[in-house]
Amino acid sequence: MTLQTTPEADNGFEALGITGALLKGTLAAGLTTPKPIQTQAIPHYLAGRDVLGIAQTGSGKTAAFALPILTRIVALGAKRRPKCPHALILAPTRELAVQIDEAIRLLSKGMHITTCQVLGGVSRNMQVKRLRDGVDILIATPGRLVDLVREGDVKLDQTRWLVLDEADRMLDMGFINDVKKLARATHPDRQTTLFSATMPDEIEKLAMGLMKDPIRVSVAPQSTTVAEITQGLVKARTKQKRNVLADILRAEGDGPVIIFARTKHGADKVTRQLEQDGFAADVIHGNKSQNARQRALNGFRDGSVKILVATDIAARGIDVPGISLVVNYDLPDEPETYVHRIGRTGRNGLGGKSVTLCDPEEVSKLRAVEKVIRKAIPLVADHTGQPDPFQKPLPAGSRPERSERQGRPQGKPQGRPARSGQAPQRAGGKPAGAHHEAGRADERNGQPRRRRRRGNGGGAAKAA
């Protein structure tokens, strides 16, 4: 594998080999100066090389593979064949596939390029009908496409360009075997491009199995976050998060905001609470139909919906200009997902903000995220009170500093210290450990241990 080290160019797309109507397409798409990933990838793609790209979300990689594919299709001038696409682009989610299709349509406006989406959750018959006469570019999620190929509704033996976008996400979602099946069905002399925000060993092996001497391009270290995003951490217990979120949104104003929840149930709950608190919000997750998800995204894009609540299924599939804030209501289970979540803002060189709400029980997930992004998320507020539940525990046998010991109750001690080797005494003369030892003995003898509520404030204080 060749390592590409071409520096970012200051010239335009024409110097990269993009000409004719596609130059107008770049202007229509708002692309004036090539981004680093485009500068590095496009010339090699046009030269026929396989390209392995490491690029974080929002870096401009869609145009990095779409522009050279469109150039090659136009230059080829080949007629479309029934059920056959010239190029196949695989994406892990429906939202990302829709986003790619929209970008290609914009770049190729007026060029008579045909595209088709093959996605789960929408009419299969319409997709088959669309493919009947052949298309130039097919954008698909792996699961639905495998079904259509198996049943003969799609033929890939003449597909000469294959793109795997967000390959690490496809790995996370269990699509890799489907991807391999689809790749084997394409033309043996195909040109392959793989883009991924991270490069775990499994993706490296996949790339080596599908690609021929690929050139590797990289515009950012793996799992780093966009520099233009200002990140902040708010410590809040789960029961406090609702009010904290409302305060954050009131301070933010009218800018588009996306809020990530860990589960579908959690996303629905957050949306209901927002509406109860006077905020207009919509939600997308895996239990929503594709039409409902698309309506929510369209409303978010046109500004009729200012707040969108989503699960991680949408972390890489939302490309809405001007998102001012991303809120992590829950920390993700996979720390790498944090990078893709907050990458919904700070896109195309614009600034953005992200705020992460973290309950004390989520500290391990927070530490995992900070390890992935290689820095600590700056603390902006703490609603948890004292003592700090985020503080790392003292090593065994260590003593707190004097300042930490201050505030100890003064006056006559309650009871005499136990002598060496003697258990401390309770009221009634029984050693403090006697009750627990008796309970353990009952459990060992198969008798259930029965707890009694205490009338004084000790039990309540302990429960709090």
- Local confidence band at 447 (pLDDT 50, 70, 90 cut-offs): very low
Same topology between domain 2-218 and domain 229-382: yes
Query: What is the side-by-side order of every strand in the sheet holding 325-328?
Result: 281-284, 307-310, 257-260, 325-328, 352-358, 229-235, 379-382
Average pLDDT over residues 78-94: 92
Residue 103's Cβ-side half-sphere holds a number of Cα atoms within 13 Å equal to: 24
Quote the longest CA-to-CA distance of the chain: 97
Angle at 210 between CA 204 and CA 213, to 5 degrees: 80
Mean pLDDT (the chain) is 80
CATH value of 229-382 in 3.10.450.50, 3.40.50.300, 3.40.50.620, 3.50.50.60:
3.40.50.300
Average pLDDT over residues 314-341: 83
Q: Which residue has the higher pLDDT, 456 or 279?
A: 279
311-337 burial code (b ≥16 CB/10 A, e <16): bbbbbbbbbbeebbbbbbbbbbeebbb
pLDDT digits (tens, 9 = 90+) for 109-155: 889 899 999 998 788 899 999 999 999 999 999 999 999 999 999 99
pLDDT at 192: 97
- Local confidence band at 441 (pLDDT 50, 70, 90 cut-offs): very low
Q: Which residue has the higher pLDDT, 388 or 460?
A: 388
Other C-beta atoms within 10 Å of 367: how many?
14
DSSP letter string, 123-138: -HHHHHHHHTT-EEEE
Q: Is the pLDDT of residue 458 over 80?
A: no
CATH class of 2-218: alpha beta
Cis before 360? omega within 30: no
- Local confidence band at 220 (pLDDT 50, 70, 90 cut-offs): low
Q: Is the pLDDT of residue 314 over 90?
A: no
Q: Is the pLDDT of residue 37 over 70?
A: yes
Average pLDDT over residues 182-204: 92
Domain boundaries, the chain: 2-218, 229-382
What is the spatial distance between Cα 251 and Cα 122, in angstroms, rounded to a whole number? 39
What is the spatial distance between Cα 148 and Cα 183, in angstroms, rounded to a whole number? 14
